[in-house]
Chains A and B, each alone.
Chain A
Amino acid sequence: MEFLDLIVNVSASTLRLATPLILVAMAGLLSYQVGLINIALEGLMLIGAFVAVVLGVAAGSAWTGVLLAAIAGAIGGAFFALFVTDLRADLIVAGLAMNFLALGGTAYLLQILFNVQGSYTPADFASLPVLDIPGLSDMPFLGKLLFRHSPLVYVSWIIIPLTAIFLYRTVPGIHIRAVGEDPEAARTVGISVRGMQYLALVLGGLLCGLAGAHLSVGDLALFRENMTDGRGFIALAAVYFAAGRPRLAALACLLFGFFEALQFRLQTTSNIPTQFFQMMPYLMVVIMLVAISVRKEWQKG
């Protein structure tokens, strides 16, 4: 029984830890499909995390914080689009700038707003409440595994098919894919390349904001400097691993989430240095990226 509990616990935290990755991966997917490498995911997510907790506290509601985080992310995405489309900045450089701006900016604001360094834990502020799905959450094992989560976990599950439907069934989605594959061809049929790039990056920013909010107000209410810890890049790796397919990318995110959960668990139960376990999710990224290039070679051969 203890072993089964362990499995349920690790699985539940896998889902919890995969949530921000999934949301950011869907953001990365949108920009992948429109033909832009978005390495600003990380920064946009950090902005979302910061805004959710700070403005959430100011408004006295975690939900308001989530909403404002999504809006902030979308605005950030629009700025990124402005730089890379209208101002023709280099994608990589603009992305890096965005990330450093978010990293430095949030740390700086933390300092001047709350006079703290490193991390900020608001007093008397409730994070998003765990949402038990009535009727289902009481099921043995499955209830705890699937139906007792923070609300944004469920949102991430809905976002996966929504992204797929958007990209493959709607007019703007198909136009985004057309632009990503052949901007010239898209232009000759009257599709606005710039418009689609904006759309993809703004929607992506919105998802990044949600992902950040999950980190800062989803379970606990706190903001830590650089609390995204490279999740934006891990999600990007998942997108490339999946070659832009939503379900596969989500699956890759779950795998990362699993290794992160495993890592937490093993840290507390074993004598091996914790740093070794902390490496595991990142090691997975390297392995997956190798898998991509091997697969590409294989396809060529």
Chain B
Amino acid sequence: MTYLSMQGITKYYPGVVANNAVTFEVEQGEIHALVGENGAGKSTLMKILYGLEQPDAGQIAFDGQQVSIPNPYAAIRMGIGMVHQHFQLIPSLTVGENIALGFETRKGLFVDQKTVNERVQALSQQYGLAVDPTQRVADLSVGIRQRVEILKMLYRDARLLILDEPSAVLTPQEVDTLFDVIQNLVQQGCTAIFITHKLREVMAICQRATILRRGEVVGTLKVAETTPTEIARMMVGSDVDTVQLTSESHPGPLQLQLENVSAEDDRRLPVLKGINLSIHGGEIVGLAGVEGNGQHELLEVLIGLRKLRAGTITIGDTNVTAFDGRKRREHGLALIPEDRNHEGLSNDLTIWENMAVTRYYRAPQSQGSVMRIGRLKDAARDLMKRFDVRATSHDTVVGTLSGGNAQKVVIARELADTPRALIAAQPTRGLDIGAARFVHEQLVDLRNQGVGILLISADLDELLAVCDRLVVLFEGRIVGSLRRQDATREQLGLLMAGRTTEQAGVVS
């Protein structure tokens, strides 16, 4: 029986279609995986279901009735609960207070915390979620906090549970416990939507999976009748023939080298495990992989935001392992970060200011500690022309630009002085086709000028279009390295799903 049916859901954000006529159906009593890369539209779809966003078009039917969900409160009352990736708990309140928050049992003006806590205890026993209702949330580990969030849903009588990347913050042992809990919940009559991009998890506990890509549904599969490889392929796309932009590559001298690089994530678990990677001038190396396998941390390690556990990073002939970001940039490193709005640009500043941030402090752009604003503005004007940034003037505030133009500001700044090595992370995410093409052309131009480029992308089309060489990152290791002309989607899909090079049939 169809329990939840979302039909033709469309949601526009300025400049982007986050969901395009998405149809998503969930059966009663199943665990349904919603998979797709970041930016594929999973979160938007779930925000619509939970009443945090309103769709521009489409209908929702839940439990046999057409419904509209104006706010989370309405969703909760219908029996829809969501565990957000970022927990919505109040640290200084107790577990019991948090679970009942907004739905307290009252005794006049007072909270009847005794009754609340008894009910929490009962739920906690029924579902095997051990918590102490009197403990303060601030004193709890992440895994227990998640348990509190789940109990919070159950306390509100949620029957449809949305779990937004619940394993992302957990240790492997905690993940196993979580899976037991979810399966137990489903046995007791709940239905779960499980958002993830980890294929192993989809295979482990889900019955069906819906794959989203670029705001559209690629397909819904029965997990028992599919393979991780097929899902991976659907996530990264195999629908269009790729446009080959590159000519034969002529690799020059070594520009960027990582030797045995290891690092830990924010939870202090190993996330990069001995990465070896060499990028020569005049080549584009693509880093493929399902997101969450260490890409983000690798990026941080490269630009100097994350400490290395071991290993060295070399730019040209210089060992830059101990250098900060500015010094690495002075040695010829450039970076197009994955999140241009937060990491690439300061949205409240103007175009010229954003363009100036990498060079304002040194001659000839400044004299002593005084910036030469005229020069910086002139330079910004030139760059806007060179990189076709469309805005009224260099004084335009960056936050008002479209995604494509904002990305051009980043690219103009990073490529203004031709770097030795460029790291481009998801450089076309959220861009329309024209803007994406412009970015690809810039990358290829740069490569032809002898720059070494590392392109980190979740989009296989993009990688196959512009790269000379592809490496695959899986669980913090480089598991395969292929020349573009030898690479097939099937092999890449297998490698991304964690098969070894031999299993993938790669000759290298």
With beta carbons under 8 angstroms apart, the residue of B88, B92, B113 that contacts A189 is: B88
Q: State whether A181 touches B102 (Cβ < 8 A).
A: no
Q: Chain B residues with Cβ under 8 A from A181's Cβ?
A: 90-93
With beta carbons under 8 angstroms apart, the residue of A169, A170, A177, A191 that contacts B93 is: A177
Q: State whether B101 touches A189 (Cβ < 8 A).
A: yes
Q: State whether A191 touches B91 (Cβ < 8 A).
A: no
Q: Identify the interface centre among B71, B106, B109: most chain A CB within 10 Å of its CB.
A: B109
B84 closest partner in A (C-beta): A188
In the complex, what distance in Å separates the CA atom of A189 from the CA atom of B102? 6
Q: State whether A174 touches B101 (Cβ < 8 A).
A: yes
B87 closest partner in A (C-beta): A185
- Is residue B89 within 8 Å, beta carbon to beta carbon, of the partner chain? yes
Q: State whether A182 touches B111 (Cβ < 8 A).
A: no
In the complex, what distance in Å separates the CA atom of A174 from the CA atom of B110? 10
Q: Are A188 and B90 also in contact (CB < 8 A) when A170-B111, A174-B97 are?
A: no
Q: State whether B110 touches A188 (Cβ < 8 A).
A: no
- Is residue A151 within 8 Å, beta carbon to beta carbon, of the partner chain? no
In the complex, what distance in Å separates the CA atom of A182 from the CA atom of B87? 11
With beta carbons under 8 angstroms apart, the residue of A170, A178, A186, A191 that contacts B109 is: A170
Q: State whether A188 touches B88 (Cβ < 8 A).
A: yes
Q: Chain B 86-124, CB within 8 Å of chain A: the 1/0 string? A: 011111110001000111101001110100000000000
Q: Are A171 and B110 also in contact (CB < 8 A) when A190-B73, A190-B102, A191-B102 are?
A: yes
Q: Chain A residues with Cβ under 8 A from B90's Cβ?
A: 177-178, 181-182, 185-186
- Is residue B8 within 8 Å, beta carbon to beta carbon, of the partner chain? no
Q: Chain A 163-185, CB within 8 Å of chain B: the 1/0 string? A: 00000011110110110011011
Q: Chain A residues with Cβ under 8 A from B106's Cβ?
A: 171
Q: State whether B110 touches A170 (Cβ < 8 A).
A: yes
In the complex, what distance in Å separates the CA atom of A211 from the CA atom of B73? 39
Q: Chain B residues with Cβ under 8 A from A185's Cβ?
A: 87-90
- Is residue B311 within 8 Å, beta carbon to beta carbon, of the partner chain? no
- Is residue B72 within 8 Å, beta carbon to beta carbon, of the partner chain? yes
In the complex, what distance in Å separates the CA atom of A184 from the CA atom of B91? 13
A182 closest partner in B (C-beta): B90
- Is residue B446 within 8 Å, beta carbon to beta carbon, of the partner chain? no
- Is residue B463 within 8 Å, beta carbon to beta carbon, of the partner chain? no
Q: State whether B111 touches A174 (Cβ < 8 A).
A: yes
In the complex, what distance in Å separates the CA atom of A137 from the CA atom of B73? 55
Q: State whether A190 touches B109 (Cβ < 8 A).
A: no
Q: State whether A171 touches B73 (Cβ < 8 A).
A: no
In the complex, what distance in Å separates the CA atom of A186 from the CA atom of B93? 12
In the complex, what distance in Å separates the CA atom of A227 from the CA atom of B103? 45
B103 closest partner in A (C-beta): A189
Q: Are A182 and B88 also in contact (CB < 8 A) when A171-B111, A174-B111 are?
A: yes
How close is B173's CB to chain A, nearest CB, in angstroms? Answer: 27
- Is residue B389 within 8 Å, beta carbon to beta carbon, of the partner chain? no
Q: State whether B93 touches A178 (Cβ < 8 A).
A: yes
A191 closest partner in B (C-beta): B102
- Is residue B351 within 8 Å, beta carbon to beta carbon, of the partner chain? no
Q: State whether B109 touches A171 (Cβ < 8 A).
A: yes
- Is residue B76 within 8 Å, beta carbon to beta carbon, of the partner chain? yes
Q: Identify the interface centre among A184, A190, A191: most chain B CB within 10 Å of its CB.
A: A190
A184 closest partner in B (C-beta): B88
How close is B74's CB to chain A, nearest CB, in angstroms? Answer: 9
In the complex, what distance in Å separates the CA atom of A191 from the CA atom of B92? 17
With A171-B111, A177-B92 already in contact, 9 other A-B pairs whose C-beta atoms are closer than 8 Å? A169-B111, A175-B101, A178-B101, A188-B84, A189-B73, A189-B76, A190-B71, A190-B72, A191-B102
The 3 closest A-B pairs by CB, nearest first: A189-B102, A185-B88, A190-B73
B contacts, CB < 8 Å to A: 52, 71-73, 76, 84, 87-93, 97, 101-104, 106, 109-111, 113
A contacts, CB < 8 Å to B: 169-172, 174-175, 177-178, 181-182, 184-191
Q: List 26 A-B contacts (CB under 8 A).
A: A169-B110, A169-B113, A171-B104, A171-B110, A171-B111, A174-B97, A174-B104, A174-B111, A175-B102, A178-B90, A178-B93, A178-B101, A181-B90, A181-B93, A182-B90, A185-B88, A185-B89, A186-B102, A188-B52, A188-B84, A189-B72, A189-B76, A189-B88, A190-B71, A190-B72, A191-B102
